[in-house]
């Protein structure tokens, strides 16, 4: 695998283009979504182009990701880092949320979290619909103004980190991340690490038996973040 110097490079990881990079389970509904390296990179490029072209998200923009544990959360983390935005939980100019539409930032984007990332049945008032906005953007991101290794990437409680900080130590295996809540320090560290050298399985909901079954099926090591 090619070495990475900033988080910009993670989404371009196509050494094994057909191999799963992000796999998502919703234990409550039975939904399973598998994104290869190429598919992940395409989604990230489209989202990064949307951030740059439609939302003017330049280097240093502050972005709050209010999505639950979901494959789109990974896409938005990587897209934010591609355009040089800082992932935060406060003082953000842009917010992305799920169908709860819980955001009061100046610019608000939402996902219905329906299969295949499709749009809301009825456009959400006051929000841009990810399912309607993202698909039409190019799946190649040129990124002329790229972040450098010392660019800030995250400003969360317990973690203020640059791109270089987050790429410091990376496991090289497949990890299962169990979680429901907000984007946390530990979740960000694991995402950056696993997508740097390994791969990631997300599980939303379910009990211990579900998690163990999925871990065996996906040949992944269970990793539960601490607060």
Q: Which domains does the chain have, with CATH numbers?
A: 7-223 (3.40.50.12780)
Nearest to 227 by CA among 165, 176, 185: 185
Top pLDDT among 174 and 68 is at 68
pLDDT digits (tens, 9 = 90+) for 118-175: 999 999 999 999 999 999 999 888 877 788 889 899 999 888 989 888 876 555 677 7
What pLDDT, in 10s, does the model give residues 183-205?
777 678 777 766 766 788 999 88
- Per-chain mean pLDDT for the chain: 85
For every residue of 53-94, DSSP letters joined together read HTT---TT-EEEEE--SSHHHHHHHHHHHHHTPEEESSS-SE
At 173 the three-state DSSP class reads coil
4-23 per-position pLDDT tens digit: 556 666 655 545 677 888 99
Where is pLDDT greater, at 31 or 226? 31
Overall size of the chain counted in residues: 227
């Amino acid at each position: 695998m090619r070495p990475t110097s900033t988080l910009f490079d993670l989404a371009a990881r196509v050494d094994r283009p057909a191999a799963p990079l992000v796999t998502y389970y919703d234990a409550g509904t039975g939904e399973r979504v598998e994104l290869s390296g190429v598919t992940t990179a395409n989604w990230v490029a489209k989202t990064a182009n949307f951030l740059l072209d439609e939302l003017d998200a330049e280097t240093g923009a502050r972005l709050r990701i209010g999505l639950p544990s979901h494959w789109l959360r990974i896409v938005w983390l990587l897209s934010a880092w591609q355009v040089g935005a800082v992932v935060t939980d406060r003082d953000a100019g842009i917010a992305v949320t799920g169908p709860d539409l819980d955001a009061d930032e100046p610019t608000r984007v939402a996902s219905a979290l329906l299969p295949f990332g499709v749009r809301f049945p009825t456009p959400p008032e006051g929000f841009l619909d990810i399912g309607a906005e993202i698909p039409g953007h190019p799946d190649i991101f040129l990124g002329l103004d790229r972040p450098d290794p010392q660019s800030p990437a995250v400003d969360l409680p317990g973690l203020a980190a640059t791109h270089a900080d987050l790429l410091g130590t990376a496991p090289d295996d497949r990890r299962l991340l169990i979680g429901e809540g907000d984007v946390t320090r530990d979740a960000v560290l694991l995402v950056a690490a696993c997508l740097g050298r390994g791969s990631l399985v997300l599980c939303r909901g379910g009990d211990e038996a579900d998690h163990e079954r999925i871990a065996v099926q996906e040949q992944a090591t269970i990793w539960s973040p601490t607060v």
